[in-house]
Homo-oligomer: A and B are copies of this chain.
Amino acid sequence: MTYEIIKELTTTKKDKTPDHQLGFGKRFTDHMFSMDYEEGKGWHNAKITEYKPIELSPAATVLHYGQAVFEGLKAYATEAGEILLFRPDQNFKRLNRSNERLCIPAIDEEFALYALKELLQIDRDWVPTSEGTSLYIRPFIIATEPYLGVSPAKNYKFMIIMSPVGSYYAEGINPIKILVEQHYVRAVAGGTGEAKAGGNYASSLKGSELANAQGYAQTLWLDGKEHQYVEEVGSMNIFFKIAGKVITPALNGSILAGITRDSMINVLKSKNIPVEERKIAFLEIVEAANNGTLEEVFGTGTAAVISPVGYLKWSDGAIDVNNGQIGEVTQMLYDTLTGIQYGKLEDTFGWTIKL
């Protein structure tokens, strides 16, 4: 960790939005972190500056060939006035796995966490304190070389920006309706599905748009090869509770290794609830619904933590899950994880880091 962070702080602080008007990802804090990479020179020029537009060549690789990766995590204010980060080391670890897939040079994970903490310390008063609110943190790396040839870029920019976000469940947790996508594909084995790379999200927009237009909140993505196996829901991992056992698709290369997903698995194990990671045919879910053993369905991700699914529609039918109500295990997982994240429950897993 031999980098130094140059700090050019602003004195003109922005007005803060009231917590109940925050929404998601539209407002940003006063400062941002950035660092540059140049072939032969490595990562350098680490800086915390005012949050402001960046300059890019119109020929920058990221604008043409999608060479970019990102992460998402949150900082939480506790009742005692402390700020907690939830498993940030895992985010920078995954960022480097995404880098590897996208031919982007690795970052120093320890330094990245140090830089994040420095930035967070400076914008500490931007962490909202109302029930359910948090500070969403977005580390990302973009290829900046001004070159139209298709090859890994020689220049990159690593940035961290932060956005205060409102309670995802301001009106209580309402199970969502999802549509099983049977034409479009989010990712395929051998592609970039397990990386947090723009292309997966760009590919998902069309299916989501069509699902939304029909009144569904999210798309259930099936595998790209056979359109038979469950992969993700919207941009979340998915879990099913069938006859007392919780199952979730195994990490197969096209599924994102969600940190919330991993945390849920660990919480389930700690509560002695059977949990299994394996290949799941969509037909198996239909059968479980038909024979009355499908008990709960939920998505997991950083933004919502957990999103119960109350209704599942596909071309040949539909499934009501748990009468459209949030299930017992779903509620327990939500309470446990948010309890740990906001410092209300003891963190027996060692997941939180105090600022």
Q: Which residues of A contact B (CB under 8 A)?
A: 24-26, 28, 32, 51, 53-59, 62-68, 70, 101-103, 136, 138, 140, 142, 146-152, 159, 161, 163, 183-192, 197-206, 208-209, 224-227, 234-235
Contact = CB atoms under 8 A, between A and B. Distances in A.
B66 A151 contact: no
23 contacts: A24-B148, A25-B149, A53-B57, A54-B55, A56-B56, A58-B161, A63-B198, A66-B68, A138-B148, A150-B204, A150-B205, A150-B208, A150-B234, A151-B209, A152-B205, A152-B209, A185-B190, A185-B191, A186-B191, A188-B191, A191-B203, A199-B199, A199-B200
Given A25-B149, A185-B188, A202-B197, A63 B59 contact: no
B62 A51 contact: no
Contacts of A201: 64-67, 150
A190 B184 contact: yes
A32 B51 contact: no
Number of copies of this chain that the complex holds:
2
Contacts of A56: 53-54, 56
B200 A64 contact: no
Contacts of A235: 150
Contact of A197 (B32, B58, B151, B199): B199
Nearest to A23: B149
Contact of A32 (B58, B149, B151): B58
A73 to B, nearest CB: 12
Contact of A66 (B24, B26, B58, B202): B202
A25 B225 contact: no
